[in-house]
C-alpha cells in the first residue's frame, strides 16, 4: 500500500476553511473526502442527480447498467485513500479479482484470452502465435514492469512532474531505465519490437485508447498499462457506481454537503484570487478554495466566467482525445462466448484511426468493446435470459462544431451489428431496452469538451507533461479530474483529487496560523477567530 501525506498532521496547521468542489466525479469525491477529514467545511456542487461523473450508470429496461468506466485497477490507490481517512476499502466496496482480463476476437475467426497470470498468458500466446511470440510476451512483461517502476513515483505520484525533474530524480542508474521506456517512439512501434503477429500488436497497441489516443501517435511509456492490468483487474459487486456511493457516504459522514441538480455559472474572482462560486440560480457560495472537477476546457472557453478564463492554458480542438458512441442495452446475447470484457477488432487498425483523427468521422470498420456486466470473467456460455450489456466504439470529439447525423449513427450501428454477427454474436434487444449516447450527449454532460472523454490526447512525448496540475494561475482555484495530471482513468482521477487536496491544505497552512482541535473522525482545526466567537 502506498503512503499518503498525513492529512491530520497537515490539518494541525490549518483551519476549518470553506471549500467548494465543483463536480462529484471520482476526483471531486476524493478531494472532498480528504479535505473534510482534515477539518475543512466542504460543499460539493454537482449538476446531475447523483455522484460519479463519468462513472455513471443508466437505467435501461428496469436494470442499472454501467455506462462509463468498466475496469477497476490500481486497487492500492483507493486503499491508501480510504486508509488516510481511517477506513478500509474492503468494508465499503466488495471486489473480486478477474482471472481473464479480456477476450479478443479478430475477423479471421481467431480469439485470444489475456489472463492476469503472466505464465498462463505466455502459454496461451505460444499456442496462439508460436514460441517466438511467447518469448516476446515475456520480454514485453519485463519491460512494462520496469516502465511502471520508473514512472509510478516519479510521474504519477508526483503532483508536478517535468522532463528535467524526471531525469534528475532518476539519478545515474535511473537514466538508463528511463531511456528504455521509449518516450520518443510510438506505442505501435514499441509493441512491434516484441510482437511480429499483427493480432498481438493490435491487442497491446490498443492500450493507447485507454486515454483516448491513437497507438500510432501515443508514446511508448503507455505500455505500463499492461503492467497495471497484470497487477489486478477487479470486478465491483453491484456495479462500478458503488465506488462513488462509498466515497459519497464517507464524505457525508464527515460533514460534506452535496448539492445536486445545481449548475455553477461562474467562479468568483477578486484580486486574482478565487473567492467562491455563483450558481445558475444566483446563489453565491463563498470559499477560500474552489476545486473544479471537470475538463479545463470548460474554464478556458469561458463557461465558468470570464474572470476564470486565464486560470489555465488553452489547447486546440485538434489536441483533444477521442469521444465515443455507446449503447447501453438490456437484452439477449447468443452465440459468441462473451467474457466480462470482450474486444472485437477491426481488420485495419491504421485505417480506423485515420477515419477518426484524419477524417473526423466514425470508422468504417470500428473496433467494438463489449462489457457483459452480468458475467464474471470465466463464463463460457451465454447467460440465461436477458443481460446487461455496454457497447462502445471510438468517435471523433467534434460535437461542438459538427454533430453526427442520425444517418451516420444508424450506419455505424449496422456495421457494429454486422461485425458482431460475423464473430457469431447475435444480440436481441427491443427499442425500449437500449440507450444510445453520442459525442453530442457527452459534450452536454461535460461542457467545453466537444465530447472528448479524456482531456488532451496523449500524442507525442510531451503530451503527458502538458496536462495542467492541481494549482492554476488563479490563487485559490484548483483542478482535479481525468483531464489533469496524472491523466484519465479512475485511479488517475483519484490521484489527481489527492494532489488537489494536498495542495489546498499546504496552501492554507502557509497563509494562515491555526491551532488544532480534536474532532470526531480525526484531528480537525479551527481558526482562533472562529474559536473566540463561541
Q: How far apart are CA 20 and CA 289, in angstroms?
A: 7
Instruction: Count CB atoms within 10 A of the CB of residue 48.
Output: 15
Q: Which residue reads 503527458 in cell numbers?
A: 464
Q: Is the domain of 415 the same as that of 467? A: no
pLDDT at site 155: 83
Q: Does 69 fall in a domain?
A: no
The answer to whether the beta carbons of residues 231 and 141 sit under 8 Å apart is no
Q: Which of 180, 202, 231 is the last residue of a domain?
A: 231
What is the distance, to the nearest Å, from the Cα of residue 346 to the centroid of all Cα atoms in its chain? 24
Q: Is the domain of 311 the same as that of 342? A: no
Instruction: Count CB atoms within 10 A of the CB of residue 1.
Output: 10
Quote the Cα angle for 164-166-171, to 5°: 100
Q: Is the domain of 432 the same as that of 462? A: no
Q: Which residue reads 482562533 in cell numbers?
A: 528
pLDDT at site 164: 64
pLDDT at site 158: 84
Q: What is the DSSP letter of 72?
A: B
Q: Does 93 fall in a domain?
A: no
pLDDT at site 526: 29
Nearest CA to 297 among 449, 458, 400?
A: 449
Q: How far apart are CA 47 and CA 184, in angstroms?
A: 40
Nearest CA to 333 among 376, 366, 367, 371?
A: 371
Q: Does 196 fall in a domain?
A: yes
Q: Is the domain of 340 the same as that of 364? A: yes
Q: Which of 202, 231, 260 is the last residue of a domain?
A: 231
Q: Is the domain of 191 the same as that of 148? A: yes
Q: How far apart are CA 40 and CA 500, in angstroms?
A: 13
The boundaries of the domain holding residue 391 are 322-445
Per the structure block, which three cell numbers stand in for 358? 484524419
Q: Is the domain of 438 the same as that of 498? A: no
The answer to whether the beta carbons of residues 300 and 292 sit under 8 Å apart is no
pTM, to two decimals: 0.91
Q: Is the domain of 437 the same as that of 348? A: yes
Q: Considering Cα of 314, then 316, then 319, then 321, what sign does the dihedral take?
A: positive
Q: Which of 405, 425, 445 is the last residue of a domain?
A: 445
* Ranges of the chain with pLDDT below 70: 1-15, 163-180, 377-384, 511-534
Q: Does 146 fall in a domain?
A: yes
Q: Is the domain of 191 the same as that of 277? A: no
Number of domains in the chain: 3
Q: Does 115 fall in a domain?
A: no
Q: Is the domain of 224 the same as that of 288? A: no
Interstrand relation of 18-22 and 234-236 (parallel, antiparallel or unpaired)? unpaired
pLDDT at site 172: 47
The answer to whether the beta carbons of residues 429 and 329 sit under 8 Å apart is yes
Q: Is the domain of 244 the same as that of 220? A: no
Residue 164's Cβ-count burial label (10 Å; 0-12, 13-18, 19+) is: exposed
Q: Which residues contact 135 (CB under 8 A, 6 or more apart)?
A: none
Q: Which residues contact 329 (CB under 8 A, 6 or more apart)?
A: 60, 65, 388, 389, 390, 391, 427, 429, 433, 434, 435
Amino acid at each position: 500500500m502506498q503512503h499518503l501525506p498525513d492529512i491530520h498532521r497537515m490539518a494541525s496547521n490549518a483551519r476549518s476553511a470553506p471549500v467548494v468542489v465543483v463536480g462529484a466525479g471520482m476526483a471531486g469525491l476524493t478531494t472532498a473526502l480528504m479535505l473534510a477529514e482534515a477539518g475543512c467545511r466542504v460543499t460539493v456542487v454537482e449538476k446531475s442527480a447523483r455522484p460519479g461523473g463519468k462513472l455513471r450508470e443508466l437505467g435501461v429496461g428496469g436494470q442499472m447498467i454501467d455506462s462509463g468506466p468498466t475496469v477497476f485497477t490500481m486497487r492500492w490507490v483507493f486503499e491508501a485513500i480510504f486508509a488516510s481517512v481511517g477506513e478500509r476499502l474492503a468494508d465499503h466496496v466488495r471486489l473480486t479479482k478477474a482471472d481473464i482480463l479480456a477476450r479478443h476476437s479478430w475477423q479471421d475467426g481467431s480469439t485470444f484470452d489475456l489472463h492476469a497470470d503472466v505464465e498462463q498468458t505466455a502459454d496461451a500466446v505460444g499456442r496462439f502465435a508460436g514460441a517466438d511470440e511467447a518469448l516476446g510476451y515475456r520480454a514485453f512483461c519485463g519491460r512494462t514492469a520496469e516502465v511502471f517502476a520508473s514512472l509510478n513515483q516519479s510521474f504519477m505520484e508526483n503532483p508536478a512532474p517535468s522532463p528535467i525533474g524526471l531525469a534528475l530524480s532518476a539519478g545515474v542508474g535511473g537514466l538508463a531505465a528511463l531511456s528504455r521506456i521509449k518516450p520518443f517512439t510510438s506505442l505501435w512501434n514499441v509493441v512491434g519490437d516484441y510482437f511480429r503477429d499483427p493480432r498481438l500488436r493490435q491487442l497491446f497497441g490498443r492500450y493507447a485508447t485507454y486515454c483516448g489516443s491513437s497507438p500510432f501517435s501515443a508514446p511508448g511509456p503507455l505500455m505500463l498499462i499492461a503492467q497495471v492490468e497484470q497487477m489486478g483487474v477487479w470486478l465491483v459487486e453491484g456495479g462500478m457506481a458503488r465506488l462513488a456511493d462509498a466515497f459519497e457516504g464517507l464524505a457525508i459522514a464527515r460533514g460534506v454537503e452535496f448539492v445536486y441538480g445545481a449548475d455553477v455559472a461562474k467562479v468568483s474572482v477578486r484580486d486574482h484570487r478565487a473567492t467562491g462560486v455563483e450558481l445558475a440560480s444566483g446563489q453565491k457560495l463563498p470559499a477560500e478554495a474552489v476545486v473544479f472537477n471537470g475538463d479545463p476546457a470548460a474554464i478556458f472557453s469561458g463557461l465558468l466566467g470570464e474572470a476564470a478564463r486565464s486560470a489555465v492554458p488553452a489547447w486546440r480542438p485538434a489536441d483533444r482525445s477521442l469521444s465515443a458512441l455507446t449503447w447501453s442495452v438490456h437484452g439477449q446475447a447468443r452465440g459468441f462466448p462473451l467474457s466480462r470484457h470482450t474486444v472485437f477488432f477491426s481488420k485495419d487498425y491504421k485505417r480506423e484511426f485515420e477515419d477518426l483523427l484524419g477524417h473526423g468521422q466514425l470508422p468504417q470498420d470500428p473496433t467494438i468493446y463489449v462489457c457483459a456486466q452480468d458475467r464474471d470473467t470465466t463464463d463460457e456460455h451465454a447467460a440465461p435470459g436477458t443481460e446487461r450489456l455496454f457497447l462502445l466504439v471510438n468517435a471523433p470529439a467534434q460535437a461542438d462544431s459538427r454533430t453526427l447525423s442520425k444517418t451516420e449513427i444508424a450506419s455505424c450501428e449496422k456495421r457494429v451489428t454486422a461485425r458482431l454477427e460475423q464473430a457469431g454474436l447475435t444480440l436481441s434487444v427491443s427499442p425500449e431496452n437500449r440507450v444510445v449516447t453520442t459525442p453530442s450527449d457527452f459534450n452536454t454532460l461535460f461542457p467545453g469538451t466537444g465530447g472528448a472523454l479524456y482531456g488532451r490526447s496523449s500524442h507525442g512525448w510531451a503530451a503527458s507533461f502538458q496536462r495542467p496540475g492541481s494549482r492554476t494561475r488563479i490563487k485559490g482555484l484548483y483542478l482535479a479530474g481525468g483531464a489533469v495530471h496524472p491523466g484519465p482513468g479512475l485511479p488517475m482521477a483519484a490521484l489527481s483529487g489527492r494532489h488537489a487536496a494536498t495542495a489546498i491544505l499546504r496552501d492554507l497552512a502557509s497563509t494562515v496560523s491555526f491551532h488544532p482541535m480534536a474532532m470526531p473522525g480525526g484531528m480537525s482545526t479551527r481558526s482562533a477567530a472562529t474559536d473566540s466567537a463561541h
